Structure 1
């Protein structure tokens, strides 16, 4: 299971400089606790929770397109709109510190994005670092180091800076991420390929219930898309290829939402439209997805996302509580944690929320508090680092109630 132990976002909207977890290339952050498998960010409206979510999406979009296209995607409005106000002359920087598995040496990816002489956004620098195979202490060494697309890559699974026989000078288009091209051109460097595949496999949910009510055309699809409007296609795939997994998901959703019985697909042979049929225990005829509540559809999508075959390694969900009955939130948080800490097929789960009932089910190490200062710049702090909070949680105080009572503030 690949795991992000920490990340840093600099000069991205209100996030002028925030860091979460452990960063192997920073002396202070290298001693911090790594991120937990389940991580939640809380904070007031406008604090910047959505900006963290979008920074992940921005990096993922850069994997699929050039930098300028990613800056304009999803209503971002271009590079000028992304840079922190007042720091327009500084680049956007994103650092990801991760392990491919718990037994692998951690890798640090650092990217800096600014403007070219022509005014277009480009990659100013791109770097991958890792400790040498026989290095137990000290700073990690580069195995990719580029400035505006030009630099050096060290070939192989263990070569790093200093291995002169393994290095190769390279040059790439600075309007795109070099790691994408390197993964395609140099198969002898699996570390870069694995990291690229890891980022491209992230699931960043832009799900909203109305999307799931759309009637799709028949045809199997393995995974939910970002909006969830192919939910029927995913159920059809599971019916055909993984009926045992589907039965477990349906049994779970029936326990969590009383009244829901069988769920199956129906294909209209004339139109080729695909419908989801929900059999409510109190009614003779089933309902389609167009007639189901927001909460039922959301819980069903989350179960498909978590329990389906080959889940994404990193799942990011913004405000999962919307549309859910408050007593389901503890159950949902428990589902997220169970999945994130599982040994087989687990995903790291990252959520943003402003619902105390959801936070009640979390531990202080799992929660980060984001606050916007008077300057307009946001800061972030782990809940367990607040004075008295860990002690009060150990005594049985729920974290949501502590947040509601203003124990999680900047004082």
Structure 2
């Protein structure tokens, strides 16, 4: 289980270090930084797939995503007695992401590139300045077993001595991708596989032309795709190798008297929903956005292959208020199998998830443009040195 998540220099998240529980609910007003928190988590996951530079580029590059406020705040700036103003920067520009779990921790530091002597097409790409992997909750010189400073990667050998694994790692390549192997760094290989298994579900596409509203070629699908296009195959997999009884109970909890069935025609799968009072089942093309989104959430949360971490961003989108209580029960059941982070601004859902004291409630707000977590004690955290 992840115990701590740390984000520094990303949009309004100047320096946010949060504890996590089995179920963590992140809420707050519009503009408080919830979306930035969610996107920062996705960026962290992208490191394990070698996509963090490309993902930053899709957001406008480091220059567009970096914290735009002053490096530090004076007391007068915070209480409004003096105007907000920039100061002489003491530290280099940096976007830092990291987490610590019960066994391993990882952090990455991205900064502005040093222009190479010849012209480059990629001079706007951020450079990876530092990385570290350690054992335990807080990074220190005593528990780090692999670190990267500039182009050099060092790691502990089997004899406990530090050795250089690479001395020419490119600034756009993570040591997570280049040095993880069963012989030298099996821990890094294990950590990368775990991060690759994290799942993120954002706004499912349910417009009239969405693939989920049409029959799709289906194969066994223990993990619903992030866009939900393979819903019918995912539900068929749950019914065949997962908790079919629990699935039907979840549907009846939200839509009393309704049932789901899957039809297959020459390899194409289609989901049908039978509703009380109707003489024929409805296809996904006929379902409302809210009903379809709820079915997608059920398929995601009842996966036969639970991940170590699942993140839901505003799962209440398009849902009728009557569905929020069943959704909260579904989430509470799912967190018994996976660690969940739910980002939501729906007070009814937030209240329902917090009612049984099973969730850590994190309420974000902004102070002088900076996102803070109200009333949350900041865990200990150290960033790797450049």
**TM superposition shift of 1:146:** 0.9
Distance 2:303 2:144 in 1: 37
Contact 1:67 1:121 in 2 (8 A): no
Match of residue 112 from structure 1: 109
Q: Secondary structure at the match of 1:94?
A: strand
Distance 1:41 1:287 in 2: 35
Q: Does 1:196 align with 2:196?
A: no
Q: Secondary structure at the match of 1:297?
A: helix
Which structure carries more relative contact order (alpha carbon 8 Å, separation 6+)? 2
Change (3 A) 1:222 1:354: same
Contact 1:12 1:84 in 2 (8 A): yes
1:46 corresponds, among 26, 31, 37, to 31
Match of residue 85 from structure 2: none
Match of residue 368 from structure 1: 362
1:380 corresponds, among 366, 373, 384, to 373
2:325 corresponds, among 306, 326, 330, to 330
2:165 corresponds, among 169, 191, 199, to 169
Q: Does 1:129 align with 2:134?
A: yes
Cα deviation code 1:106-139 (max 9, x no counterpart): 322121001221243121000112259xxxxx87
1:11 corresponds, among 9, 12, 28, to 9
2:95 corresponds, among 92, 96, 99, to 92
* RMSD across aligned positions (CA): 2.7
Contact 2:44 2:98 in 1 (8 A): no
**TM superposition shift of 1:381:** 2.5
Q: Does 1:266 align with 2:237?
A: no
Distance 2:322 2:142 in 1: 46
Q: Secondary structure at the match of 2:64?
A: helix
Change (3 A) 1:296 1:329: same
Contact 1:143 1:153 in 2 (8 A): yes
Distance 1:47 1:142 in 2: 34
**Greater helix percent: which structure?**
1
Change (3 A) 1:139 1:328: farther
Change (3 A) 1:67 1:383: closer
Cα deviation code 1:191-210 (max 9, x no counterpart): 21221111111111124250
**TM superposition shift of 1:251:** 2.8
Distance 2:166 2:96 in 1: 22
Q: Secondary structure at the match of 1:19?
A: strand
Q: Could you tell me the TM-score, scaled by structure 1's length?
A: 0.76
Match of residue 148 from structure 1: 150
Change (3 A) 1:347 1:140: farther
**TM superposition shift of 1:257:** 1.5
Match of residue 252 from structure 2: 254
Query: How many residues in Structure 1 have an aligned counterpart in Structure 2?
Result: 342
Match of residue 316 from structure 2: 321
Q: Could you tell me the TM-score, scaled by structure 2's length?
A: 0.80
Match of residue 351 from structure 1: 342
Q: Secondary structure at the match of 1:315?
A: strand
Contact 1:11 1:87 in 2 (8 A): no
